[in-house]
Amino acid sequence: MAKKKTKWTKAELKMFEENILKKIAEVNESIEGVRSTTAPTNSVFIQEKSEDFNEGTEAHEVEKNFLLMSRESDYLVNLQKALQRIKDGTYGICEISGELISKERLMEVPNATKSVFFKEKKKLNLL
């Protein structure tokens, strides 16, 4: 009977690290893009105010952009925590079962701390 794998190899961890670094770059780019469209220059803002633009729509867009930036910032923090787990040797291990999280899940959700099975159980309050 084959022994169950309990840790990722150095090569696999390197692959996960590269994936996380790529995601971090994408998130930083997204945050910068939202930031550049959210913070109008004072002259543009004053001009728009003087033209009596639809404040409700503008406020909604600004709020939506700040929510997006907040979500992206939280994701960035979680990706950085994932990098730390790689260094600590705990990356890719389900915090509930102690078993390895599938490679496919880690590539899609690199900050995952639970296997799909336990994530669903937790979501349904079955844990």
**How does pLDDT run across 29-58, given as a tens digit for each residue?**
998 888 887 655 444 554 555 455 555 677
Q: Please tell me the predicted confidence (pLDDT) of residue 64.
A: 86
Q: Does 98 reside within a domain?
A: yes
C-alpha to C-alpha distance for 7 and 93, rounded to whole angstroms: 8
User: Higher confidence at residue 16 or residue 118?
Assistant: 16
Closest to 6 measured CA to CA, from 98, 103, 87, 95: 98
- Tell me the residue range of the domain where 59 lies: 10-123
Q: Count of domains in the chain?
A: 1
Q: Please tell me the predicted confidence (pLDDT) of residue 2.
A: 63
Owner of token pair 């907040």: 70
Q: Can you give the C-alpha Rg of the chain in angstroms?
A: 21
DSSP 3-state percent helix, strand, coil across the chain (nearest 5): 70, 0, 30
Q: Please tell me the predicted confidence (pLDDT) of residue 89.
A: 93
Q: Please tell me the predicted confidence (pLDDT) of residue 22.
A: 98
Q: Does 94 reside within a domain?
A: yes
Q: What is the pLDDT of residues 54-87, one digit of tens each?
A: 556 777 777 888 888 899 999 999 999 999 999 9
**Cα 95 from chain centroid (whole Å):** 18
Instruction: Record the pTM.
Output: 0.77
Q: Please tell me the predicted confidence (pLDDT) of residue 26.
A: 96
Amino acid letter, 6: T
Q: Does 34 reside within a domain?
A: yes
Local structure of residue 4 (DSSP, 8 states): P
Q: Please tell me the predicted confidence (pLDDT) of residue 50.
A: 47
CATH number (domain holding residue 55): 1.20.120.910
